[in-house]
Structure formats: C-alpha cells, structure tokens
Amino acid sequence: MQDFATKDEIQRWIQNAVDARSRYQRIVNDCNSKLARLEPVYRGLSDIKDSYNAAAKSTKNILREKGTWRGETYTSFCNAGDALNGSLESYYRQLDAAHDALNEEIGNLRATKRRLIPIIGDLWGQIENWRVDIENAV
C-alpha cells in the first residue's frame, strides 16, 4: 500500500486550495467594499441623531416656556408643538432603527472577514507545503 500522494494528486489539492483561497479572498474584498460604503453612512447617521437630540431638547424647552402667553393661543401653540415633537420622535425612532440595522450589517461583515482571513492564511500555508512536497519528490 502506497502512503505517498502522487504529483497529480498534490497538484489537484493545490488547485482546489487555490480556488478556495481565491473564493474566500473575493468574499473578504466584497466585505471591505461594503464596509467602505457603510461605515461613513453609519457615522453620518450618528451625527444626525446627535444633532436631532440637541434640537429636540431645545424645542421642548421653547414649547414649555410660558412667558407672557396666556389662554387659547398659548394652549394651541403648545398642542401644535407637542404634535410636532410626536412626529419628530417617530422620525427619530425610524432613524434609530436604520442606524441599528447598519450597525448590525457592519458587525456581520467584520465577523465574516475575521472568520475568513485565518482560513485564507491556512490555505496559503498548505499550498506552500504541498509545493515543497512536489519539489522534493522531483
């Protein structure tokens, strides 16, 4: 019984490993491309949320100031302000959901990269070992 692989078998192993490494590298490159587009959007949404929060606090304070206003006009103004704040809070919740979804996608892409990069390195190392085996056999 033969314990050694033939040159053709090792070359097939090498080709299969090269194909797998290339496939994984394409996935990592795709992740990098998506991350390059998504991360700036995520940071932009963070900035929008921060500025919204500051504006919302300021608006609520303005709407609650009594000053010299009295009666129906004051009540109407406060009710309209409350309705506006309610609409803006709904907008903020949607913005927050989009922000969270982006964060999740970014996390998934980073996790995929981190899982594949060591596999790519292992394949590259195995390819080199098999090439040495072929050279030594010849």
* Nearest to 102, CA basis, from 48, 51, 47, 34: 34
- Three-state DSSP state, 94: helix
**Token pair in block for residue 64:** 């609650």
73-88 pLDDT tens trace? 777 777 777 777 777 8
Predicted structure pTM score = 0.73
Angle at 96 between CA 51 and CA 76, to 5 degrees: 65
Q: How far is C-alpha 56 from the geometric centre of its chain's CA atoms?
A: 28
How many Cβ atoms are within 10 Å of 103's Cβ, its own excluded?
14
In eight-state DSSP terms, residue 28 is H
* pLDDT given at position 26: 97
Structure confidence at residue 1 (pLDDT): 46
Per-residue pLDDT of the chain (138 residues; tens, 9 = 90+): 456 778 889 999 999 999 999 999 999 999 999 999 999 999 999 999 888 888 777 776 666 665 556 677 777 777 777 777 777 888 889 999 999 999 999 999 999 999 999 999 999 999 999 999 888 877
